[in-house]
Structure formats: C-alpha cells, structure tokens
Amino acid sequence: MKKIEIRTVNVTQYLQPLREGGSLPAIVKADDGFLYVLKFRGAGQGKKALISEFIGGELARAIGLKVPELVFMHLDDSFSKTEPDEEIQDLLKFSVGLNLGLHFLSSAITYDPLVSKVDALTASKVVILDSLISNIDRTAKNTNLLIWNKELWVIDNGASFYFHHNWQTWQHHLTRTFPLIKDHVLLPKATLLKEAAKDIQQLINKTIISDIITKIPEDWLISDGEVLNPDEIRKAYFTFLNAKMVMIDELVKEAEDAR
C-alpha cells in the first residue's frame, strides 16, 4: 500500500489575492517553479481550516477523486514587509511558517450545477465523502468544486470537521449523522450512493486514515488554550473518521432519503 508523500516548498513570490474566498487565499509562486493557491494559517479559521483542507483533500484523493496536489508551503517574514495592503500585510505577518498550498489549475472554471456535467458515481463519492468529514460548505451558493480539462476537481474542504472548534464536546459527534447533506450541490446527481460507498469501503481503511493524520504538521496541532495535546488531537481525528466509516450505510440512507 503506497504511503502518501507530501512535498514541502518555499514561497518565492506573492502574486495576487483571491478575494472571492472569505479567508483571502492567494496565488503564489514556489521555489519549484509552480503556482499554488496558498491557504494561510493566519486566516479566520486558522490552522484548523488547514487541517480540514488537508485531511479532506487526501481522503478525496484516496477514493479516486481528482484533487490538486497539496503541498506544505513555508512562508517567511519578508513578504509582509513589502505588501502595501494592510489587511494582506497582517495576514502575511500572522502566517509566517508552514501553510498549505493547492496546485493552481490554470483556466479552471467553477462547477455550475446547471451546466457542468458530472457522472453519477463521482457525484455520489463526493456526497459520501462530505458526509464522512461533515463538510458544511459544498452547496449551490458555494460549490467548492472546479471543472478542469472537462473533469470535476475537489477543492476547499476547510469547513469540514467542525467539531474540532470545541474539543470538549468532540466525542458527542461520533454517533451523529450529517443532516446538512440535504443542501449538497451534487446530491441531485448522486444516484449511485450504495455503489460509491462500496468503493470507498474498499479504498479507505485504518492504515490510510492513520497515514494521512500522521502527516499533519505538529505545529498545526498546537494552539493557545487547547484542551488536548497534539497526540490526543490526532487520535480524535482518527477515532472520528473510523466511527464515520462504521456508519457509512447510515450516512448513505440519510443522503438517499434527502435526495
């Protein structure tokens, strides 16, 4: 079984902010010569959004969905000193260190539920993935999906795992389903949910979940006032995802009923 490999690169050039994103991500160039969409640790939801983005993205890749390459991106303090925009200056200042980048898909277009095409199995896999990771932000208003080279690409999983904003109650979420799946943008096209669930059960196991969670940078798991230490937080993500895999049939039924 192939272990996931995540490269680390350095930001060499800040090119432009993406103002349609609430957290003000940016297009940057790295020392490997490629362009990335950089998600900042200093943005609104902070490092937890990066963790959600990372786990969700690598799980999506593991079940055969298209996901831009994710890389850890090191940002030094030189960029904030030359940035004239005060809001961006602060964001850069608070994001010095390790951030998360997604390979920039040039000329990709936002998925439009009225005109974009997606096959039923792919749609079903995305719906089940978002049930598993409790992703509240893949709706018609904000699809967080791209069409690139006529294929569907999954981006922006940062609103997943919302239980981690209050570690004192995270265990209450272990047996909950995900009623908000009723608002999922791909639900109308997700007509192969049971088949998708079987595929996911064959492709995701405890080893893969553990491999992804082990790769979360230690630094992202440390915050002032956190009630759990990094090892306990990793264990919580692992326990949560395994609990959701056990109840996948229940999540499928909930999505079918909502559809």
Tens of pLDDT, residues 72-83 = 999 999 888 888
Mean pLDDT of all residues in the chain?
94
Q: Total structural domains in the chain?
A: 2
Residues 123 and 190 in one domain: yes
Residues 35 and 99 in one domain: yes
Q: Is 190 exposed, middle or buried (0-12, 13-18, 19+ CB in 10 A)?
A: buried
Residue 72 included in any domain: yes
Residue 109 included in any domain: no
In 3-state terms the chain splits into helix, strand, coil percentages (rounded to 5) of 45, 20, 40
Residue 248 included in any domain: yes
* pLDDT for 186 beyond 60: yes
Q: Is 243 exposed, middle or buried (0-12, 13-18, 19+ CB in 10 A)?
A: middle
Residues 178 and 82 in one domain: no
Residue 253 included in any domain: yes
Residues 79 and 170 in one domain: no
Tens of pLDDT, residues 197-228 = 999 999 999 999 999 999 999 999 998 788 99
Residues 123 and 96 in one domain: no
Catalogue the E-assigned strands of the chain: 8-17, 26-30, 35-39, 70-75, 97-103, 109-110, 145-148, 151-154
Alpha-carbon distance of 170 to 176, in angstroms, equals 11
Residues 132 and 244 in one domain: yes
Q: Phi/psi of residue 238, each to 5°?
A: -60, -45
* pLDDT for 150 beyond 80: yes
Residues 133 and 220 in one domain: yes
Residue 91 included in any domain: yes
* pLDDT for 1 beyond 70: no
Tens of pLDDT, residues 92-134 = 999 999 999 999 999 999 999 999 999 999 999 999 999 999 9
In angstroms, the Cα distances linking 93 to 17, 42, 76 are: 15, 8, 9
Residues 190 and 231 in one domain: yes
C-alpha closest to that of 68 among 162, 156, 195, 177: 156
Which domain covers residue 218, as residue numbers? 119-138+160-258
